[in-house]
Amino acid sequence: MSAENRKECLNLVAEARASGASSAKACDVLGVSVRTAERWATQPEDLRQGPKAKPAHMLTDAERHHILAVANSLEFANLPPCQIVPMLADRGEYIGSESSVYRILKSENMLTHRSRSQPRKHTKPEALVATGSNQIWSWDITYLRAAIKGTFYYLYLPMDIFSRMIVHWEIHERESPDHAAGMIEMACQKHEISKDQVTLHSDNGGPMKGATMLATLQRLGVAPSFSRPKVSDDNPYSESLFKTLKYCPSFPERGFGSIEEARAWVEKFVHWYNHIHLHSGINWVTPASRHQNQDQAVLRKRSHVYEIARQKNPARWSKQTRDWFRPNIVELNPGRQKKTDKKRILVQQAA
């Protein structure tokens, strides 16, 4: 650890102690021992020295330069050491062990792609914030197993992340951008969505990024948002909804006998989920009541009931009653705090 990082750790420990926390607790949060922190306070610089004698089998500078030249040659620039070394051995050549080649390339920061071709980088999608209904929708497609082995029906399901309400659903026998485009157009008509009102978030599947779907979104004035490839955490609300659906006690384990049977079951599930199910993410109100701004009255009534109970028996509550608050902000892919900020928060909590 550098001297600057050591100084920062010591400052965090000092802040924690000033707030009333013990040094041991603060050091435990930072992942260092108390003895180490005490040594850093008197000796901020690392005075340890490595061995003075060089290993007898150490590669010479000329050998290192030769390994780098071979690894970066036109023939081997796109290959890893695990392929370079055997190929040279087949020719009767030995420039060093596989681990030595790996170590030398790593020391020169050449262990990734050394040619002009670079892997595509995927950045985290932009954070989205919903403060009301019909601002951000999330949607995905899930498989519904049919009774015939190897056969599936496909459930298209968009939801509102602020209210968690299912705004529309359709079941088809195949995945298609045409079905996706018709589905989102029907949902926008049902909820009277105007242009530039809704952002639609999804993963990178073919139906989501098909030309027909993207053209429909542009015509409707719906802004598309996409997850990173193979990162389900970027689309958490739809993933959670599908788990609730498939872990429902009435979900048929042996599959649906027909597409009509699947549609009838999903229709019942959507009614239960929207109008009966008390959702934990919105403080145990129904998604439909929150979508229609009726949840505030429900939460106020609960607070009133608890306050009356507290007045009847004040000794039962040491502090305040349960806070039936209303989550007014819902984030999709919120930004991450810096490591230093996280450490600071942990130290403050320890205090």
For residue range 266-323, what is the model confidence (pLDDT) as tens digits?
A: 999 999 999 999 999 999 999 999 999 999 999 999 999 989 988 888 888 777 888 8
**pLDDT mean over 170-192:** 96
User: If pLDDT is split at 50, 70 and 90, which confidence band does 230 have?
Assistant: low
Interatomic CA distance for residues 138 and 330, integer angstroms: 12
Across 34-48, 123-137, 190-204, least confident range: 34-48
Across 37-51, 124-138, 234-248, least confident range: 37-51
Counting DSSP H helices and E strands in the chain, the numbers are 14, 7
Of 106-115, 117-126, 152-161, 342-351, the range with the highest mean pLDDT is 152-161
Across 1-5, 237-241, 289-293, least confident range: 1-5
Which of the pair, 55 or 10, is modelled with greater confidence? 10
Q: Using an 8 Å Cβ cutoff, are 153 and 173 in contact? A: yes
Handedness of CA 146, 152, 156, 157 (dihedral sign): positive
Count of residues for the chain? 351
pLDDT of residue 191: 96
Q: What is the pTM of this model?
A: 0.63
pLDDT of residue 120: 64
pLDDT of residue 349: 46
Of the chain, the percentage scoring pLDDT greater than 70 comes to 87
pLDDT of residue 350: 44
DSSP letter for each residue of 130-146: ESSTTSEEEEEEEEEEB
pLDDT of residue 339: 42
Q: Is 238 helix (H, G, I), strand (E, B) or coil?
A: helix
Q: What is the mean pLDDT of the chain?
A: 87
pLDDT of residue 343: 44
**Cα 341 off chain centre by:** 19
Across 59-63, 65-69, 231-235, least confident range: 231-235
Q: Output the six-digit token pair for 42.
A: 């008197």
**pLDDT mean over 11-36:** 87
How far is the CA of 155 from the CAs of 47, 142, 242, in angstroms?
64, 5, 10
pLDDT of residue 119: 60
Tell the residue number behind the tokens 């809704």, with chain if given.
198
Residue 163 reports pLDDT greater than 90: yes
**pLDDT mean over 330-348:** 55
Max Cα separation, the chain? 91
Residue 197 reports pLDDT greater than 50: yes
Percent helix, percent strand, percent coil in the chain, to nearest 5: 45, 10, 40
Residue 37 phi, psi (nearest 5) = -65, -40
Residue 217 reports pLDDT greater than 50: yes
